[in-house]
Structure 1
Amino acid sequence: MNRPLFYLAIFASILAISLAVSQAGRAQGTKYGQFAPPDAFEENPQLAYYGSENEWSRRQFSKEKAEDEYKRRGQRLLLATLNGNPNKSLDWAAEYLAEDPHDLESIYNQSIAYCQLGKIDQAFAAMKQAVEGGLPIERFLAGPRQLLKPLTESEEFQEYARSRTSGLLHGPMLGCVTDDSARIWVRTENASPVKVQVFSCDTQGNPSSNIASTSSSLVDLQEDFTAIIELTGLQPNTQYAYDVLIDDQSLLKGDRPHFHTFPEPGAPGIFKVAFGGGAGFMPEHERMWDTISSRNPDALFLLGDNVYIDLPEEPRGLHQYTYYRRQSQPEFRRLTASTPVYAIWDDHDAAMDDVWLGPYLDRPAWKPAMLRIFMENWVNPGYGNQESPGCWFKATFGSVDCFFLETRYLRTNPFGENPTMLGSIEKKWLLNELKNSQARFKVIVSSVPWAPNVKPGSHDTWDGFPHEREEIFGWIEKQKIDGVLLLSADRHRSEAWKIDRPNGYPLYDLMSSKLTNEHTHECVPGQLFCYNKLCSCGMVTFDTTQADPTITYEIVNIDDKVIDTLVIKLSQISF
């Protein structure tokens, strides 16, 4: 072969190998590439309209993942049953129980598998073992209901459960607290009218005999047996207690949670918020919720990766199971009964890791259902609008305005031209709200980090959308908007970053995303400080009563130790 033909043949071979690797990459995945199912490439063979920077597969539920991360173990077992292999689920559960005889998630999944095999006596025995081992019986009543129906409809189970349940499976969860209103979310055993009674409290916080207000709602079967009860006519800056009733019978057994309304919008005050993401289910870390509760925050901001689903194509059984694990936890229920929750999602709850969901409202076909199941399980002030749905909304706490962002639902491919994380409608809303806000502090809450180089080499953070990030930061400077603070999550650690700006004040990005996760991300250069040794949360206190209002950021670990502290004065973040 002559030399030109030889080199041409070599070039052709290299090209063929490159194309093969590129196609294989879509299926097998390599880190920080463009990966998606075939239908995502139908419009453009070179650019997936939805996809991920990581392998698009079921790798999160592999044997290796289940061994490394406990949150995957129960999911792996349930998927085997959902895929028609309950015997395989039983075999795997037996392997886990041989290592840890007290593994309650494996015992729970044994009960589900036995139900699918029609072995109700074995299902009951597994259920009883799990409950007596400490698993809340509400897990079996919540379900997934269809999977456990053969057990829960049996006379033996109903007799066993009768004295152990109140009819309230999940909640009450407090949310949407303002100066004159609040909402209470519940999930009940049956479709019944639910009533919430609200009581005034005396100066010691004890409920008085006078009912401040009463509101009711019908549990909606279409919303997975949940109801949201709206409480109105409350007074600003006032403490209340409440009870939840069905047929005038208390579901809380006299243990009435308390909450505190906020001052009127614009009024000075002290407001403390606990925030974080990365809340994968880990039984030994669930005490983190009690740690947060002990510090009496005025609100809890959950910034994504709240439960870790990671399989958008699957039936709702996996999604429900993943939410129910957390919502049945006594520690979580204690905290959220008295602390208003404001939740956004991130990649692991919206679909899978490092995902962009594309510019369409109803494509891929599973996208609206993923948002719907999120909405069933939280109690937010809003979910965007019809033109731009998602987890974006505003919440006001005295003289602090918080703008929670949806960063996944309409996010476009970061490898394309002019990608957007927010979409035009949400972005316009954010810019207008920032411009018009009269609050002393304006907090922009994102599920992914704002600061550069937080996740080197990745397009998943705001680094993948630098023009849009600059548009937001530039708008703050153009409009001379004082008092902007950034909150974010995603990286499994807690940290603080200072983003210096050439034409404005420095922007501080306060991050925390290791609430209950066992998995940890290493600290990277450039932070003001970083902590990743144990689970932790961010605790931010806004004090607008001072002449120069302050923000105090603390990293608090699971053992209730303050690791690092940063104080920011309003004068430092003003023009």
Structure 2
Amino acid sequence: MFKPTVGPIVGHTTSDHARIFLRGSQYTNNPVYAGLRYRLQGDSKWSEGRFIQLHAHRDMSDVIVLTGLQADSLYQYQAGWLTLESPTPSLEALQEQSVQWPEDVYCLRTLPRENGALQAYIVGSCRYLRITAGTPSTPERGDRTFAGIQRVVDRADPPIRGVLMTGDQVYLDDLNIVAPDRTYKDILFKYRIVFSQPHIGKLMSSVPTYMILDDHEIEDNWPANKQFKDEILYANAMSAYRLYQVSHSPAHELTSDGALNRSLKHYWYELSHGDIEWFVTDSRTQRNLSSQDRRILDIEQERALLAWLDNSTARVKFIVTSVMFYPDSKRDDGDAWQAFPQQRLRLLEYIRQRKIRNVIFVSGDVHGSMTSRLGHSEDADFEVHTIVSSPFYNSELLPYASASDFIFDNAMARTGNGEYRYELTSPVIGQDNFAHLRVAAQSVQVTFYDGDARPLHTVEIPLR
């Protein structure tokens, strides 16, 4: 059995199940299988192998679902792939034959069943990697940030429950003017390179990783820059996105027998960790740019988000949106929420009028990190917060954000009942970084770290 060519990647994990993505390869016409076995840490006996056939139309990748796990437990697992000599094997024969597993042993932790006062997460976005003529340009520079994240994970208390990557995990348009990646083959190659770097690979093999796309998974400022010839680009980009980012996410439901439901209704999804809940929006692929009904979220998604806000009993409600909810930029390029003011105001009014507390928007995109508080001039009981974390690694050709890029001296929105105004509650951090969120009983502590895991700034967001 061979080591995975990409992965393993631990995806959505609960108190009793975990989803693990891995990719193999193919060098004969005989069937290829991915396999995995696991055990509780401290046990000497491995489980029977779990196997799944890999197919070329899925880029020789798939997701193995482990069910019936014990809550709040540390598991070890081994994973790999193999090609069988027989062209018509059975899974029973595969189970019975002696498999030489790869030596690497990985670990994953399931969630506790009880609501805990403490939960912790890593949040970040925008990992730039240029690939020219099939060769990545200094990949170790961007991968260094994930080594830094691993150091924070290793010493974190409470344990990190998930790494949330909020967009631009790959840059398909890194050479958009000269040599854009448009073919399915080139796009898949880029995903393989990005997700198989050593430090991000180690991180994702042990910590549940949750992803949502932004524009560079397709092309810059999609779909505003869309042209007729881009239909094929979009189809290729989204096919690769479904394989490498969506396949192990909560967007796919489980069937009654614990298998992965292959059907996919949408890219947005909900995530629950006890009394901490997340709504991860797709703020990229379902935009409506018409003047009659301009929206960043489609109708179905907006209704689902409002229903979630209404019905959720979570102590803290995180809303992930790949582009910034606020503050607004002085240079409005039509891409963030400020270009969709009516829908943003509808959402804020809904939160304010129903007195929904402890709503925090999480985003990336702008190559700068910060926290900010939004209040209302006539409603002292209303407030929401935003956490922006970007980038994991920036291109030398792109600037970092600074406080002077944003509007702070005007009301963000006005209604007949008053004004929405925001204020920074942290510096704007203009360098490669990521955020460590520690959710306690009375506050959310946000610590921004540089790529070497040195703390840059800490903010306490009070909970009510």
Scaled by the length of structure 1, the TM-score of the pair is: 0.64
Give the counterpart of 1:293 among 122, 136, 150: 150
CA contact (8 A) 1:168 1:251 kept: no
Give the counterpart of 1:216 among 40, 51, 67: 51
Give the counterpart of 1:367 among 224, 228, 234: 234
CA distance in 2 between counterparts of 1:400 and 1:172 reads 27
Is 1:479 matched up with 2:376? no
CA contact (8 A) 2:355 2:382 kept: no
CA distance in 1 between counterparts of 2:303 and 2:264 reads 11
Superposed CA offset, 1:163-212 (max 9, x none)? xx93520100001101110011001023522221121124xxxxx11346
Give the share of equivalent positions with the same residue, in percent. 22
Task: Name the counterpart of 1:322.
Answer: 190
CA distance in 2 between counterparts of 1:278 and 1:391 reads 19
Q: Which amino acid aligns with 2:332?
A: G
SS of residue in 2 equivalent to 1:407? coil
Shift of 1:214: 4.9
Task: Name the counterpart of 1:401.
Answer: 277
CA contact (8 A) 1:278 1:490 kept: yes
Task: Name the counterpart of 1:192.
Answer: 32
SS of residue in 2 equivalent to 1:348? helix
Task: Name the counterpart of 2:165.
Answer: 302
Shift of 1:431: 1.0
Superposed CA offset, 1:551-575 (max 9, x none)? 111111112111111112221xxxx
Unaligned runs of 5+ in 2: 83-97, 130-137, 154-159, 254-260, 409-423
Task: Name the counterpart of 2:304.
Answer: 429
CA contact (8 A) 2:24 2:81 kept: no
CA contact (8 A) 1:389 1:409 kept: no
Number of residue pairs aligned between Structure 1 and Structure 2:
393
Worse-superposed segment, 478-487 or 394-403: 478-487
CA contact (8 A) 1:387 1:425 kept: no
Shift of 1:416: 2.2
Provide the aligned C-alpha RMSD in A.
2.8
Residues 299 and 291 of structure 1: CA distance in aligned 2, closer, same or farther (over 3 Å): same
Q: Which amino acid aligns with 1:509?
A: T
Task: Name the counterpart of 2:216.
Answer: 348
Worse-superposed segment, 240-249 or 422-431: 240-249
Shift of 1:261: 0.8
SS of residue in 2 equivalent to 1:427? helix
CA distance in 1 between counterparts of 2:430 and 2:339 reads 28
Is 1:530 matched up with 2:427? yes
Worse-superposed segment, 178-187 or 233-242: 233-242
Superposed CA offset, 1:442-499 (max 9, x none)? 1000100011323532321100111111111222223322221110010001111111
SS of residue in 1 equivalent to 2:310? helix
CA contact (8 A) 1:357 1:410 kept: no
Task: Name the counterpart of 2:17.
Answer: 181
In the TM superposition, what are the counterparts of 1:68-107 in structure 2 within 5 Å?
none
Task: Name the counterpart of 2:448.
Answer: 555
Is 1:238 matched up with 2:115? no
CA distance in 2 between counterparts of 1:250 and 1:390 reads 39
Superposed CA offset, 1:425-448 (max 9, x none)? 111111111211121111000100
Higher strand proportion, which one? 2
In the TM superposition, what are the counterparts of 1:261-300 in structure 2 within 5 Å?
261-264=110-113, 267-281=115-129, 282-283=138-139, 284-296=141-153, 297-300=160-163
SS of residue in 2 equivalent to 1:166? coil
Is 1:568 matched up with 2:455? no
CA distance in 2 between counterparts of 1:418 and 1:239 reads 49
SS of residue in 1 equivalent to 2:313? coil
CA distance in 2 between counterparts of 1:213 and 1:277 reads 37
SS of residue in 1 equivalent to 2:45? strand
Higher relative contact order by CA 8 Å / sep ≥ 6: 1 or 2? 2
Residues 552 and 187 of structure 1: CA distance in aligned 2, closer, same or farther (over 3 Å): same
CA distance in 2 between counterparts of 1:533 and 1:435 reads 36
CA contact (8 A) 1:512 1:537 kept: yes
CA contact (8 A) 2:144 2:452 kept: no
Residues 181 and 489 of structure 1: CA distance in aligned 2, closer, same or farther (over 3 Å): same
Task: Name the counterpart of 2:199.
Answer: 331
SS of residue in 1 equivalent to 2:382? coil
Shift of 1:387: 12
Is 1:512 matched up with 2:396? no
SS of residue in 1 equivalent to 2:13? coil
Q: Which amino acid aligns with 1:210?
A: K
Scaled by the length of structure 2, the TM-score of the pair is: 0.78
Unaligned runs of 5+ in 1: 1-164, 203-207
CA contact (8 A) 1:170 1:327 kept: yes
Residues 553 and 494 of structure 1: CA distance in aligned 2, closer, same or farther (over 3 Å): same
Superposed CA offset, 1:131-186 (max 9, x none)? xxxxxxxxxxxxxxxxxxxxxxxxxxxxxxxxxx9352010000110111001100
Task: Name the counterpart of 1:381.
Answer: 250
CA distance in 2 between counterparts of 1:520 and 1:269 reads 39
